[in-house]
A and B are shown apart, each in its own frame.
Chain A
Amino acid sequence: MLEAFVVATILCGFFGILFKKNLLMKIFSMDIMSTGVIAYYVFVASRGGFVSPIVDANGAEKVAYADPVPQAVILTAIVIGFSIQALMLVGVMKLSRDNPTLEITEIEKNNTP
């Protein structure tokens, strides 16, 4: 059930990229898609009945802990996704001077030979 919601978020984002006409909206849709992907990693790592993989001061106790790897690697993806987003928004800012409506068809028409 939860997985279905996560996949639905990814698809919502992707359809936004496909169907929105405004470049800014497309970038926001991409962010939604990446939120979905991140949630999917968290979903894969999470399992009922397990504890967080944190060792307390008394030393390691043999307990079943949740898999930390997907969450650890997705941190990298979050940082990369956010920096790409920032870079793209700067590009959009520059483009918006000459294309104030930011409609993708207009930008494409003006900028392809």
Chain B
Amino acid sequence: MNTLTIAWMALPFFAGFTIFILPQLDRYLVSFTAVASAVFAVKVFLMDSPLALQLLDSAGVTLLIDQLSGYFILTNALVTAAVILYCLQTGKSSFFYAQMIILHGSLNAAFICTDFMSLYVALEVSGIGASLLVSYPRTDRSIWVALRYLFVSNIAMLFYLVGAVLVYKAHHSFSFEGLRGAPPEALALIFMALLTKAGIFVSGLWLPLTHSESETPVSALLSGIVVKAGAFPLVRCALIVEEVSPIVQLFGVGTAILGVSYGFFEKDTKRLLAFSTVSQLGWIISAPAVAGFYALTHGLVKSSLFLIAGNLPSRDFNTLQTKPMNTALWIPLVVASLSISGFPLLAGFEAKMLTLKDLLSWQSIPMNLAAVGTVICFSKLMFLPHGNAQPKQLPHLGFWLAIGLLLGGLIFANAVHYELYTVANILKSIGIVAVGAVIYLAGIQRWVFNLPRMFEEFEQLTGVMTLVAVLLFWLAWSWR
């Protein structure tokens, strides 16, 4: 298993660089790599005990592969495979595929490492890869969005480096366990960087613009998996060092509420989905013990929603209200929306129930409210008019294959926690969906005002970073 792990970790990078030399192999190499990752994830699930690797000696790289990493790796493999299927007929250049697979590899690395230095390298590579994908169309706007993303993430990572060396100073090791005896400023800097990178809470407000202004497949990739590279280390730290778990869970609740509250006011499909990503990341980190399954269901559902939203006749809700979409597009849209709202028979239900069961007592009321909020946001999509009024050309075959893979994954994932299908749980989830839908139809539907986008400006983003760092420092100081 050790050799296999290292070979699997190196494969995407090898594939990526081979594509630059032999561009005609691009599609085969990326498909092979995505399948290899999926196979590896299945192998991880079949392992009896977690695998811990220490490469070189005490100062070397430490890796930990367990069920939690397995879920994230599987999400990565499925989302990448779906995006590849989607891109096959869109005439993307080899450069695009090479960047995509290098991004895939760096995310895989982030999902198994347990020391701050390897994580730093993995996150920086994923940042560079993601920003190159965002700037692929090479328009002014895409270059600016990519530059802004790279800038924000690099500033955060510089603070992270300072935090990492403070951990090293305390323990002479970069491993995650070092957070335990480290000074509070180390925790504040590292967590601030990870929160920013993952797009969580107010430091994550770079996310809506980046995710909504990217091309459809890139948005799917970013929301489906790239942001989880920042959330995963938070979850891992919360599991390894239990003292920091309340801090992570607090931010989870905060961002779950923040995301949906922004979502209420959105008039644009892609921005609504991006804000929903902010909120769902809160769900992932609010119950670290069951984060893996939630990340899997969210990755599948969000990338399918972005792929569908990219093929709707318009991005604007007002236009979509007057211009019915094709029913063939509406059906997967409703299935995905119901899954993210936690409706039974789809994996989102199990994920939501699992998370709600695993919460601390003070978390349950705000998280249930956030669940209703999610339904309200997605009612905007579910209640859109549909029909075959104007025979519009349907998306290409690759789109249907990608959607089939993602939504099929959602249905198959139901088998994982089937014991959650109790009468009480089913009634509760249907109740949440019903309440959300009624609130939407009664009021939210007619809201017309927009929230200001002031906090998404570049300078506000950097300023907010310091505020989050101060908040974290205070939390770490008072809870240690």
Q: Which residue of A lies closest to B315 (CB)?
A: A113
Inter-chain contact count A-B, CB under 8 Å?
A: 94
Does B59 have its Cβ within 8 Å of any Cβ on chain A? yes
Taken together as a complex, chains A and B put the C-alpha atoms of A10 and B140 apart, in Å, by 31
- A80 with B124: CB separation less than 8 A: yes
- B140 with A111: CB separation less than 8 A: yes
Taken together as a complex, chains A and B put the C-alpha atoms of A32 and B236 apart, in Å, by 32
- B169 with A44: CB separation less than 8 A: yes
Name A57-113 residues within 8 Å CB distance of B: 67, 69-70, 72-74, 76-77, 80-81, 83-84, 87-88, 91-92, 94-95, 98-99, 104, 107-108, 110-113
A23 to chain B, nearest CB (A): 8
- A69 with B131: CB separation less than 8 A: no
Q: Count of chain A residues with Cβ under 8 Å from any Cβ of B?
A: 40
Q: Which residue of B lies closest to A112 (CB)?
A: B209
- B172 with A67: CB separation less than 8 A: yes
Specify which chain A residues have a CB less than 8 angstroms from the CB of B214 in the assembled complex: none
Specify which chain A residues have a CB less than 8 angstroms from the CB of B168 in the assembled complex: 44, 69-70
Residues 29-41 of chain A: 1 if any B CB is under 8 Å from the residue's CB, otherwise 0? 0100110010011
Taken together as a complex, chains A and B put the C-alpha atoms of A37 and B155 apart, in Å, by 11
- A44 with B143: CB separation less than 8 A: no
Instruction: With a 10 A CB-CB cut-off, give which of A10, A72, A74, A113 has the most chain B CB atoms.
Output: A113
Specify which chain A residues have a CB less than 8 angstroms from the CB of B158 in the assembled complex: 10, 30, 33-34, 37, 81
Specify which chain A residues have a CB less than 8 angstroms from the CB of B141 in the assembled complex: 111
Taken together as a complex, chains A and B put the C-alpha atoms of A72 and B168 apart, in Å, by 13
B125 to chain A, nearest CB (A): 8
Taken together as a complex, chains A and B put the C-alpha atoms of A111 and B415 apart, in Å, by 46
Specify which chain B residues have a CB less than 8 angstroms from the CB of A70 in the assembled complex: 165, 168
Specify which chain A residues have a CB less than 8 angstroms from the CB of B419 in the assembled complex: none
- B124 with A84: CB separation less than 8 A: yes
Residues 224-251 of chain B: 1 if any A CB is under 8 Å from the residue's CB, otherwise 0? 0000000000000000000000000000
Does B146 have its Cβ within 8 Å of any Cβ on chain A? yes
Specify which chain A residues have a CB less than 8 angstroms from the CB of B366 in the assembled complex: none
- B165 with A40: CB separation less than 8 A: yes
- A91 with B143: CB separation less than 8 A: yes
Given A30-B151, A67-B172, A91-B135, residue A111 in contact with residue B121 (CB < 8 A):
no
- A73 with B174: CB separation less than 8 A: yes
Does B102 have its Cβ within 8 Å of any Cβ on chain A? no
- B128 with A18: CB separation less than 8 A: no
- B144 with A107: CB separation less than 8 A: yes
- A80 with B121: CB separation less than 8 A: yes
- A91 with B128: CB separation less than 8 A: no
Given A40-B162, A111-B140, A112-B209, residue A84 in contact with residue B453 (CB < 8 A):
no
Specify which chain A residues have a CB less than 8 angstroms from the CB of B466 in the assembled complex: 14
Does B48 have its Cβ within 8 Å of any Cβ on chain A? no
- B120 with A84: CB separation less than 8 A: no
Taken together as a complex, chains A and B put the C-alpha atoms of A37 and B132 apart, in Å, by 25
- B147 with A88: CB separation less than 8 A: yes
Q: Which residue of A lies closest to B160 (CB)?
A: A37
Q: Which residue of A lies closest to B138 (CB)?
A: A94
Given A41-B165, A88-B147, residue A110 in contact with residue B140 (CB < 8 A):
yes
A37 to chain B, nearest CB (A): 5
- A84 with B154: CB separation less than 8 A: yes
B317 to chain A, nearest CB (A): 14
- A18 with B459: CB separation less than 8 A: yes
Which 5 residue pairs across A and B have the least CB separation, nearest first? Answer: A91-B147, A111-B144, A111-B141, A80-B124, A69-B59
Known contacts A88-B150, A107-B144; 5 further A-B pairs (Cβ under 8 A): A69-B168, A84-B128, A87-B131, A108-B457, A112-B209
Can you list 18 pairs linking A and B with CB atoms under 8 Å apart? A10-B158, A18-B463, A34-B158, A37-B158, A40-B162, A44-B169, A69-B168, A70-B168, A77-B161, A83-B128, A84-B124, A84-B128, A84-B150, A87-B132, A88-B150, A91-B150, A108-B144, A111-B145
